Amino acid sequence: MLAKTVVPMSNALLSLRKRFHLSQEQLAYLLGTSWGTVSRWERGRVANPNRETVERLERIGILLKEVGGILTADGFIRFLQTPQAGLSGHRPHDLLSNEYSFEKLLDFIKGSKAGEMS
């Protein structure tokens, strides 16, 4: 019974990582967990991540779709480490955990793509 609940998340994690060329270490950093935990999730060795981690994962997917083709995985992580528009001083997984910070970050990315400065 546990395997049925683990498989969809393991597929989603692996799919996101492969689509955006993220290593397990990079995804773990963004999620605020260890690469070993990401590996175990992907292999279905442990239960699915908690709700907060799933929300962070969804937000990572949204942001990566916005910057797809513009930034490499390393560039994306560097961007999150030095965010603009009043978001400096936050760790990437903190930005992805807080709805307000995430929305500000998403607005900044969209504004930058449109040639605006926020």
- pLDDT tens digit at each of 118 positions of the chain: 334 444 467 777 888 888 888 899 999 988 888 999 999 888 888 777 888 888 888 888 888 888 877 778 888 888 887 756 566 666 777 778 878 878 888 888 887 776 644 3
Answer yes or no: are the C-beta atoms of 65 and 53 closer than 8 Å: no
How far, CA to CA in Å, does 100 sit from each of 22, 43, 49, 55, 97? 25, 33, 22, 13, 9
- Distance, in Å, from the CA atom of 93 to the CA atom of 113, rounded to the nearest integer, reads 23
> 27 in a domain, yes or no?
yes
- Distance, in Å, from the CA atom of 90 to the CA atom of 36, rounded to the nearest integer, reads 24
Task: Give residue 13's domain range.
Answer: 2-113
The total number of structural domains that make up the chain: 1
CATH label of the domain that carries residue 64: 1.10.260
> 43 in a domain, yes or no?
yes
